């Protein structure tokens, strides 16, 4: 039996030896696999200069290289302006051909032009164990290839997409680099970081699926695919998967002022709240609830899609405030709504909007079920002033002014951004504003969501 002091020395020695062994192991990993690593360069052709950098890794003997889609997206979006090149760890340069992409999982497959590199990484067939140490590789901040050890924490929760939670620091420039296990097999691909040792990886099975899809879809000479139809198919499949999840979920309602509104529909949508009290400058009390999907699909630097977000505002004023002043302040505050996703005029059409009044008949227990008012709806046309529908029955309905706006994707004409705002207009000193944005959905999906969204809101 060791004495306590002797045992402490032994423990320190073991710890020191373990640290040295780990350091040697990481050095050996880097030495063994550095030949498979590349810096991926986005080159602006007019200036022949770098416009963006990322990382990549060779995955076959014939020079196939994997990276993130967002590293090469500008070359997809504007191929006449940008080309792609690689730089090996040993300084070898060459051009790259873009073969296939997966915009949903942020992956791309390229091929080296000319003689391929000799080394490549193998893809793991199973996931690491939780708590297992894995090693990220990449080129952070154009400082040269770096290794970052961290911990595998399984698939992160609260997302529409599978992402590995990695306890390690992925920095700009490491995007698209491999994350390997101790056997040197790829278990994930660097994709994003939230800072403070919280990073995210694309699971390697997504890359395996992309490779299989490419081999299935490519021609006999294994050339590049036409990417626009590929991306269009991926976007359609993804938005249908998301809308199916949302519509099948149990929509829980939460109180907001005198209303019950939609809460967190699925785990990947998170809600936050805020409130402001009335004062001399702002005579209206406002309580806000905003719910946003945690993920987007990156298409280009100025264009993203796949957003699902909705928000509600309850506004109330003291009885002494005239209703005209209340609604003047109310509409001024509510005039700043805009779509949540970024898109330019090259990507989308202008919004086409339809405005109408809708009535929300009260049910027997005093709540209001929002529904399409049918004949009572009055569409705004030609700039004429529209009047809200009259009450029908013994209990007056709640009246809302609703705007439903749609813009079409130019490259993917069956997909749309939808922007919805509904403002109640018949209460003297209180009002409810409901708003949602969907980006990259079909009209059928958007209509189904709108009907569900409007029908769920209740009024006390």
Q: What count of Cα atoms within 13 Å lies in the side-chain half-sphere of residue 7?
A: 4
Q: Which residues contact 401 (CB under 8 A, 6 or more apart)?
A: 355, 356, 357, 388, 422, 423, 425
Q: How far is CA 99 from CA 42, 63, 198, 360, in A?
A: 15, 12, 31, 53
Answer whether residue 217 is part of any domain: no
Residues 52 and 185: their CA atoms lie apart, in Å, by 27
87: CATH: 2.40.10.10
Answer whether residue 370 is part of any domain: yes
> Do 269 and 192 share a domain, yes or no?
no
> Do 365 and 388 share a domain, yes or no?
yes
Give the single-character DSSP code of 343. Answer: -
Please count the structural domains in the chain. 3
Asked if 452 and 438 touch (Cβ cutoff 8 Å), the reply is no
What is the pLDDT, as a whole number, of residue 92? Answer: 93
Residues 206 and 102: their CA atoms lie apart, in Å, by 9
CB-count exposure of residue 3 (10 Å: 0-12, 13-18, 19+)? exposed
Answer whether residue 9 is part of any domain: no
Token output for 129: 């164990």
> Do 421 and 451 share a domain, yes or no?
yes
> Do 199 and 138 share a domain, yes or no?
yes
Answer whether residue 383 is part of any domain: yes
Token output for 333: 């505050």
Asked if 318 and 300 touch (Cβ cutoff 8 Å), the reply is no
Report which of 133, 114, 142 is spatially closest to residue 182, judged by C-alpha positions: 133
Q: For residue 278, give the 3-state DSSP assignment.
A: coil
> Do 148 and 132 share a domain, yes or no?
yes
Token output for 1: 């039996």
Report which of 322, 320, 323, 330 is spatially closest to residue 284, judged by C-alpha positions: 330
Answer whether residue 150 is part of any domain: yes
At CA 125, angle to CA 112 and CA 152, rounded to 5? 95
Answer whether residue 63 is part of any domain: yes
What is the pLDDT, as a whole number, of residue 333? Answer: 57
Of the residues 170, 189, 208, the one at which a domain ends: 208
Report which of 377, 379, 392 is spatially closest to residue 454, judged by C-alpha positions: 377
State the residue range of the domain holding 194.
Answer: 22-32+122-208
Of the residues 81, 101, 121, the one at which a domain ends: 121
> Do 310 and 279 share a domain, yes or no?
yes
> Do 254 and 389 share a domain, yes or no?
yes
Residues 134 and 144: their CA atoms lie apart, in Å, by 20
* pLDDT by position in tens, the chain (length 460): 444 444 544 444 444 444 444 544 777 877 889 999 999 999 999 999 999 999 999 999 999 999 999 999 999 999 999 999 999 999 999 999 999 999 999 999 999 998 999 999 999 999 999 999 999 999 887 788 888 999 999 999 888 999 999 999 898 899 999 999 989 999 999 999 887 788 999 999 999 999 999 999 886 667 888 999 999 999 999 999 999 999 999 999 999 988 889 999 999 999 999 988 766 566 778 899 999 987 889 999 889 999 999 999 888 887 655 666 676 766 665 566 666 678 889 999 999 999 888 876 555 444 444 444 333 333 333 344 444 444 444 456 778 888 899 999 999 999 999 999 988 877 778 888 899 999 999 999 999 999 999 888 877 6
Answer whether residue 3 is part of any domain: no
Give the single-character DSSP code of 34. Answer: G
What is the pLDDT, as a whole number, of residue 378? Answer: 34
Of the residues 91, 121, 151, the one at which a domain ends: 121
Q: For residue 454, give the 3-state DSSP assignment.
A: helix
> Do 357 and 455 share a domain, yes or no?
yes
> Do 242 and 279 share a domain, yes or no?
yes
What is the pLDDT, as a whole number, of residue 369? Answer: 43
Predicted TM-score (pTM) of the model is: 0.84
């Amino acid at each position: 039996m060791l004495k306590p002091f002797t045992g402490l020395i032994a423990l320190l020695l073991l710890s020191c030896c373990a640290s040295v062994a780990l350091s040697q192991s990481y050095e050996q990993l880097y030495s063994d696999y550095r030949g498979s690593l590349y810096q991926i360069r986005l080159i602006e052709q007019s200036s022949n200069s770098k416009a963006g950098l990322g990382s990549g890794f060779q995955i076959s003997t014939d020079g196939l290289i994997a990276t993130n889609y967002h590293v090469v997206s500008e070359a997809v979006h504007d191929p006449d302006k940008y080309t792609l090149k690689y730089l090996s760890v040993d300084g070898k340069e060459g051009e790259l051909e873009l073969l296939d992409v997966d915009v949903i999982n942020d992956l791309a497959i390229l091929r080296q032009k000319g003689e391929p590199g000799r080394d490549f990484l193998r893809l793991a067939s199973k996931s690491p164990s939780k708590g297992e140490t894995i090693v990220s590789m990449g080129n952070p901040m154009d400082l040269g290839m770096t290794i970052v050890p961290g911990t595998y924490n399984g698939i992160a929760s609260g997302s529409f997409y599978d992402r590995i939670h990695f306890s390690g620091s992925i920095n700009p420039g490491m995007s698209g680099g491999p994350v390997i296990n101790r056997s040197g097999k790829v278990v994930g691909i660097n994709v994003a970081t939230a800072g403070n040792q919280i990073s995210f990886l694309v699971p390697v099975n997504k890359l395996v699926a992309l490779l299989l899809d490419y081999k299935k879809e490519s021609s006999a000479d294994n050339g590049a695919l036409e990417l626009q139809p590929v991306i269009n198919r991926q976007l359609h499949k993804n938005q249908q998967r998301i809308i199916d999840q949302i519509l099948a979920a149990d929509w829980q309602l939460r109180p907001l002022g005198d209303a019950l509104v939609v809460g967190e529909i699925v785990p990947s949508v998170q809600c936050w709240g805020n409130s402001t009290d009335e004062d001399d400058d702002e005579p209206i009390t406002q309580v806000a609830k905003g719910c946003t999907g945690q993920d987007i699909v990156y298409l280009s630097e100025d264009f993203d899609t796949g957003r699902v977000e909705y928000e509600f505002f309850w506004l109330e004023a003291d009885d002494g405030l005239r209703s005209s002043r209340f609604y003047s302040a109310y509409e001024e505050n509510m005039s700043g709504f805009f779509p949540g996703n970024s898109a330019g005029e090259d990507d989308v059409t202008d919004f086409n909007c339809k405005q109408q009044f809708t009535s929300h008949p009260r049910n027997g227990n005093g709540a209001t079920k929002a529904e399409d008012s049918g004949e009572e709806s009055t569409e705004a046309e030609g700039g004429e002033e529209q009047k809200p529908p009259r009450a029908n029955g013994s209990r007056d309905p709640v009246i809302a002014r609703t705007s439903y706006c749609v813009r079409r994707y130019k490259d993917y004409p069956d997909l749309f951004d939808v922007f919805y705002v509904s403002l109640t207009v018949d209460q003297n000193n209180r009002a409810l504003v409901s708003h949602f944005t969907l980006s990259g959905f079909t009209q059928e999906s958007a209509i189904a969501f709108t009907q569900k969204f409007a029908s769920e809101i209740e009024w006390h």
